[in-house]
Homo-oligomer: A and B are copies of this chain.
Amino acid sequence: MIASIITIGDELLIGQVVNTNATYIAEALNKISVTVKNILTVGDTQEDILQAFIKQFSENDIIISTGGLGPTHDDITKKTICKFFNTELVKNEDVKANVERILALRNMKWTSAADEQTYVPDGCKIIPNKHGTAPGMLFERDNKFFIALPGIPYEMKQMIDEFVLPLFSNFNNGRIILHRTLRTTGIAEAFLSELIGDIDELTKVASLAFLPSPTGVSLRISATSDSYKNVREAIAEVENKIRSKANDYIYGTDDETIEQVLGKLLSERNLTIAVAESCTGGLIANRITNVPGSSKYFERGIVTYSNRSKTDLLGVPENLIIKHGAVSEEVAKAMAAGIREISKTDIGISTTGIAGPTGATPDKPLGLVWIGYADLKNLITKKFLFGDDRVRVKIRSSQAAMELIRRIILKIQI
């Protein structure tokens, strides 16, 4: 089946918002072997939306539109759908019940805007919105599917995952496309490519894409065939060949984050952890605590931005900071040992570095970061150079700190 994604909103056309909705939907449809033929972004203008609906619905089996379903005046998708399907808005009691539920959750009262949300084009099937008031809508015409979803990513994603994917998983015409991503960190794209070697050989079996990001390079393997067995075998063959060369750098697969992988490792081994952050400013704690259940292994985090807080809270000797500077191997070591001691955890981890834009000196450049690691037996430090962009330095440092723990737990060379 062939799909077109239509994303609606002036904010996309003036470059105010990056179109992550289209990426999410495209990825989701590909996972169930629906081919996305094109992605079209149009503004909040009835004529443009209508023309997009007409052209794309005539050329594709599936249309998924997002945006323009809110209660304010610039939300005109519902009216345009009515025009497209030659129908009119009618009140829907299921939608009304959902709007009431959402308003109650938010402790909000009924308004005329809320009332408007309860009207939907006659003849559509409702796609329930768990997290918001705007319902999704499905029309089936001549074995074609038209779906309209709200543009709020959180709401849209739930509806894609729980309604759209199950719907089209059953319509798969025998052609299978699968993808598998191997997530690496701590190695640059060119070196990873060299390490794997003979990429031309691999791509005879399945296609391979290198996707660099601040957290590391992901390797995406894609294969297509007429049976799941063939596709899975092709992907497994390529994965095994890559792992035989670069396994130590692969921390996870598909959508796994290093904080999820780390959480699993710590849980399985009944290990606890505490974090002392300077240059990462709370990012490591924040990422670790994004994982549900992290309270089982994450005991505390301390963001020691001032020198005084390093001394007060972690027991880093004042003269150590004076002698070597706050960004130094010695201070990273003392911070890691200190956080472990006061929190009584199995592992302590620390970061200290120069995130910029100021603070660099001739022998301590922007992006210099020391990471410290302490457990019962080890007190280890590692030095990194992470470039001159403040937020990227923070992201790369947090990734490297968690990767360091993963490697030590798994006894991989650091």
A248: Cβ under 8 A from any B Cβ = no
B48 lies within 8 A of A30 (CB): no
B209 lies within 8 A of A16 (CB): yes
A28: Cβ under 8 A from any B Cβ = yes
In angstroms, Cα B106 to Cα A27, docked, is 34
B313 lies within 8 A of A305 (CB): no
A18 lies within 8 A of B15 (CB): no
> Which of these, B113, B286, B357, contacts A281 with CB under 8 Å?
B286
B27 lies within 8 A of A15 (CB): yes
Given A154-B389, A209-B11, also A300-B290 (CB < 8 A): no
- Specify how many copies of this chain sit in the oligomer: 2
Given A41-B38, A284-B282, A301-B302, also A15-B25 (CB < 8 A): yes
In angstroms, Cα B220 to Cα A302, docked, is 38
A26: Cβ under 8 A from any B Cβ = yes
Contacts of A386-411 to chain B: CB distance below 8 A? 387, 389-392, 394
> Which of these, B131, B179, B209, contacts A389 with CB under 8 Å?
B131
Which of A65-73, A81-89, A262-270, A328-336 touches B?
Answer: A65-73
Contacts of A61-110 to chain B: CB distance below 8 A? 70-74, 105-108
Q: Which of chain B's residues have a CB closer than 8 A to the CB of A289?
A: 281-282, 303, 305, 355, 394
In angstroms, Cα B220 to Cα A209, docked, is 38
A322: Cβ under 8 A from any B Cβ = no
Centre residue among A108, A289, A301 by max chain B CB count within 10 A: A289
A44: Cβ under 8 A from any B Cβ = yes
Interface residue tally on A, bucketed by range: 35 or more
Minimum CB–CB distance for A299 against chain B, Å:
5
Please encode chain A, from 217 to 247, with 1 for each CB lying within 8 Å of some chain B CB and 0 for all others.
0001010000000000000000000000000
Centre residue among A41, A193, A308 by max chain B CB count within 10 A: A41
Minimum CB–CB distance for A50 against chain B, Å:
13
Minimum CB–CB distance for A383 against chain B, Å:
10
A283 lies within 8 A of B286 (CB): yes
A142: Cβ under 8 A from any B Cβ = no
Q: Which of chain B's residues have a CB closer than 8 A to the CB of A275?
A: 303
Main secondary structure of the interface of A (DSSP, over half): mixed
Q: Which of chain B's residues have a CB closer than 8 A to the CB of A35?
A: 13
B131 lies within 8 A of A189 (CB): no
Q: Which of chain B's residues have a CB closer than 8 A to the CB of A209?
A: 9-11, 16, 44, 74
B10 lies within 8 A of A19 (CB): no
Minimum CB–CB distance for A142 against chain B, Å:
23
Given A71-B190, A300-B302, also A22-B37 (CB < 8 A): no
> Which of these, B12, B41, B74, contacts A208 with CB under 8 Å?
B74
A387 lies within 8 A of B41 (CB): no
In angstroms, Cα B38 to Cα A43, docked, is 7
Please encode chain A, from 168 to 183, with 1 for each CB lying within 8 Å of some chain B CB and 0 for all others.
0000000000010100
- Chain B residue nearest to A366 (CB atoms) is B105
A111: Cβ under 8 A from any B Cβ = yes
B305 lies within 8 A of A302 (CB): no
B203 lies within 8 A of A73 (CB): yes
Given A285-B303, A289-B282, also A309-B36 (CB < 8 A): no
Centre residue among A25, A285, A294, A312 by max chain B CB count within 10 A: A285
A343: Cβ under 8 A from any B Cβ = yes
Centre residue among A40, A209, A212 by max chain B CB count within 10 A: A209
Contacts of A344-367 to chain B: CB distance below 8 A? 355-358
Minimum CB–CB distance for A152 against chain B, Å:
6
Minimum CB–CB distance for A285 against chain B, Å:
3
In angstroms, Cα B6 to Cα A218, docked, is 23
> Which of these, B27, B181, B293, B305, contacts A301 with CB under 8 Å?
B305
A17: Cβ under 8 A from any B Cβ = yes
Q: Which of chain B's residues have a CB closer than 8 A to the CB of A280?
A: 286
In angstroms, Cα B191 to Cα A108, docked, is 9
A53: Cβ under 8 A from any B Cβ = no
